[in-house]
Amino acid sequence: MSASLQSDRPKHSLVRRAHEARADFIRLVLLFRPYWKRMALGAAVSLATLLANVTLMALSGWFIASMALAGIARTAFDYFTPAAAIRACAIVRTLGRYIERLVTHDATLQLLARLRVWFYSRIEPLAPARLADLRSADLLSRIQSDIDSLDHVYLRVLLPIIVGAVGAAILIAATAVFSLPAALVLFVCLLFAGVVLPAYLLARANEPSRACVALRAQMREAVVDAMQGSAELRVYGGEACYAQRIDALSAELVARQAAVNRLDALSQATLVVAASLAMWATLVLVVPSVSRGALPPADLAMLALLVLAAFEAAMPLPLAMQMLGESLAAARRIFALVDAAPAVDDPAEPHMPRGAALAFEGVFMRYREGDDWALRNVSFELPECGRLAVVGASGAGKSSLVNVLLRFWDYQAGSIRLGDRELRECAGESVRARIAVVSQDTYLFNATVRDNLLIARPDADQAALEAACRSAQLHDFIADLPQGYDTQIGEAGARLSGGQARRLAIARALLLDAPILVLDEPTEGLDSITEQALLHTVMALMRGRSVLLITHRLSALTELVDEVLVMDAGGIVERGAPGRLARGQGPFSELWRCDSRERVNPPLPQRGRRPVWHAAP
C-alpha cells in the first residue's frame, strides 16, 4: 500500500504541474486581450506569407516540369500565366516577411510595455512589507528578465501554433484535391511533426527550462551581491569564494542550456527526416497514379515540393514548446509575486484626514503572527506644529513606529488618529501625501537632480524646484554643476557627498510641502561639521510643521524638540523635556552619556559617499 502511494505521487505531481501550467498559460493569454486585433493581424500576415511560400515552391515545381514536358512533346505552352503567379507569390512572400516582422514585433513590444506597467501596478501596494524578504536583484530579474521571457508567448508560441494549425489544415486540403494518398501522408507526418514531437519536447524540456530561469535569477543575485559588497569581500578575503559560487552557478546554467540545445538539435533533425520521408512517401504513392494516367506527370513534382514545403508550418513548433516551458516558468515567478496580498488594505470608502495632529493610543503591532510585539502599548500625542523626538537603541521600535504611521504595516490593536480620522479609515496614498519623510537611506535614483526632485511633486516648475533647493541650501551647489538641475547624480546619488545627498532629500520634502514631517536619523553617518550645517537646514524645514524626529544623536534635541520619548523593546519607558531627562538618572541620561562619548571618539565617515563632487568622465 505504501509503495503504491509512493508510485502515485509522481503522477499526481505531474498532473498538478500540468494543471498549473494550463492555468498560467490561460492567464497570460487573457492579459493579451487588449491587443488581440494587432495579434490577429500579425497571425493573418504570417499565414499569408506561409501559404505564399508553399505555393511558390509547388507552383515552381509544376511550372518547370510542365515546361520540360512541353519541350519534349514539342507542344505549345502558356508560360505567362504561371510565371506571373510565381512572381506574385514571390512578392507576397517578400512583403509578407517584412510586414509580419513589423506587425508581430510591434505587438510584442506593446505587450511587454503593458506587462511591465501591469506588474508594477500590482507590486507597488506590496512595498515594503511584502517585498521585504525579496532581494533587490531578484525583484529586478522578475521585472526585466522574466517579463522579457514572456515575449515568447506571442511571438514564439501563440503565433506559430495558430499559423501552423490553420496553415497545415489548408495545405492538407489543397493536397487532397490532387491526391488523397498524398494528403494522408502529409496529415500523418504533420501530426507527428506538429503535435507528437512538440508534446515530447515540452515534457522533456520543461524541467531544464524551469531550471534555466531559476539559475539566471540566482546568477543575477550573486553578481549584484558581489558588486554591492565588493569592498567587504575584498577586506575579508571572500572574493575567491564568491567567484567560485558564481562559477558553479554559471557551469550549472551552461549544462541546463546544453540540455535544451540538444533537444532543439534533435527536434530539427527529426523534422528534416520527417519532411524527407513525407516527400519520398508521396512520390512512392503518387507515381502509380501518374503511370496509370490518373494524374498529370507535372503534378508529381508539384505534390512532392508541396509536401516538402508544407513542413514550414511545423518547423517552429518544437522550439515553441521549449519557449513555452521557459515562459511559463517566468510567468509562475511573476504570478507568485502579484498574487500576494498587501500587508495593509485601503478601506472601501477612504476618508481624507484634516489637520496635522497625531495621536497614538495603546498601539500594539507585530510583523508576523507569533513574533514578539514590535510596538507594545504605545501612547503619545503630537499636536499641530508640535515637535517630538523618539530615541532608543537599535531594535527599540522606532522604525516600526514610522512603518505603522505611513501605512506600510498595520497595527493589531489600539488606535492611531491623524487629524480628525482614524488611520485605518484613510487611504495609504492620502496619508503619505500629508507626511514628508527625510531618512538616512532616502533613495536617490540614477537620474538628474530635477528627476529626483520631481518624485515629490511631478507638476512642480523650475521656480518651485529652485525655491526648495534654496531653502535646503543646495541651489548654489546645483547651479555650479555641469548641467545644473539636469546633471546626472549617479547610482544612489554616488556623485554627491553625504551632506549633499541629505540636502537633496530635504529639498524633496520641502517640495512636497506636507504638514507633518518625519525625520528618521537625518544626520546619521555625517561628520560633526556637516551635521551642524545640516541641522540649521533641518530647523528651517521644521517651521510651521508637526515634527516627529527619530535620532541617535541627542546633543541638539534641546534646540529641536519639545518632548522626548525613550523606547525600549517596543514600548515607551520614559518621556519628558530633553533637558530634564538629561539631568535625571533614567534611560535617556544613559543614552546621552553614550552619545557624548561617541562624539569624543567619532566613528569612521559613512562608506559609499564621496566627499566632493566628481564630474562624469
pLDDT of 95-145, one tens digit each?
988 998 898 888 888 888 888 888 888 888 787 777 777 777 777 777 777
Q: Which residue shows C-alpha cell 515553441?
A: 320
Structural domain for 188, as ranges: 23-118+128-338
- Whole-angstrom Cα distance, residue 402 to residue 400? 5
Query: Which grid cell sits at 562?
Result: 519639545
> Which burial class, exposed, middle or buried, applies to 576 when counting CB atoms under 10 A from its CB (0-12, 13-18, 19+)?
middle
Helices (H), 458-586: 462-471, 475-479, 498-512, 528-542, 557-560, 578-583
pLDDT of residue 596: 61
User: Running DSSP on this structure, what letter comes out for residue 383?
Assistant: -
Q: Are 220 and 134 spatial neighbours (Cβ–Cβ below 8 Å)?
A: no
β-strand pairing of 563-568 with 387-391: parallel
565 falls in which pLDDT band (50, 70, 90)?
confident
Q: Is residue 591 part of a domain?
A: no
Amino acid found at 310: A
* CATH number, position 36: 1.20.1560.10
> What's the gap between Cα 515 and its chain centre?
34
Q: Are 551 and 389 spatial neighbours (Cβ–Cβ below 8 Å)?
A: yes
pLDDT of residue 4: 47
**Omega before 128 within 30 of 0, i.e. cis:** yes
Please work out, in degrees rounded to the nearest 5, the angle formed at the alpha carbon of residue 134 by the alpha carbons of 131 and 135. Answer: 130
Please work out, in degrees rounded to the nearest 5, the angle formed at the alpha carbon of residue 461 by the alpha carbons of 534 and 466. Answer: 30
- Whole-angstrom Cα distance, residue 282 to residue 564? 92
Does pLDDT of 256 surpass 50? yes
pLDDT of residue 426: 83
pLDDT of 211-243, one tens digit each?
887 888 788 878 877 777 777 778 787 788 888
Does pLDDT of 9 surpass 60? no
Does pLDDT of 526 surpass 70? no
User: Running DSSP on this structure, what letter comes out for residue 480?
Assistant: T
527 falls in which pLDDT band (50, 70, 90)?
low
Q: Is residue 617 part of a domain?
A: no
- Whole-angstrom Cα distance, residue 531 to residue 514? 24
Q: Is residue 324 part of a domain?
A: yes
Does pLDDT of 266 surpass 60? yes
Q: Is residue 604 part of a domain?
A: no
List b or e across 492-528, with b for residues whose CB sees 16 or more CB atoms inside 10 angstroms: bbebbbbbbbbbbbbbbbbbbebbbbbbbbbbbbbbe
153 falls in which pLDDT band (50, 70, 90)?
confident
CB-based contacts of 521-525 (< 8 A; 24+ apart in sequence): 521/439, 521/440, 521/550, 521/551, 521/552, 522/438, 522/439, 522/440, 522/549, 522/551, 523/551, 523/553, 524/440, 524/551, 524/552, 524/553, 524/606, 525/440, 525/498, 525/605, 525/606, 525/609
pLDDT of residue 558: 67
- Whole-angstrom Cα distance, residue 324 to residue 270? 20
pTM of the model: 0.69
User: Running DSSP on this structure, what letter comes out for residue 554?
Assistant: -
Q: Is residue 279 part of a domain?
A: yes
Q: Is residue 380 part of a domain?
A: no
Q: Using CA of residue 523, residue 527, residue 531, residue 533, what is the dihedral sign?
A: negative
Q: Are 565 and 379 spatial neighbours (Cβ–Cβ below 8 Å)?
A: no
Mean pLDDT for the stretch of residues 367-380: 86
CB-based contacts of 465-468 (< 8 A; 24+ apart in sequence): 465/507, 465/511, 468/507, 468/508, 468/510, 468/511
> Which burial class, exposed, middle or buried, applies to 186 when counting CB atoms under 10 A from its CB (0-12, 13-18, 19+)?
buried
Report the phi/psi class of residue 178: left, alpha or beta, with left for phi > 0 and alpha for psi in -120 to 50. Answer: alpha
Mean pLDDT for the stretch of residues 548-560: 73
| Structural domain count, the chain | 1
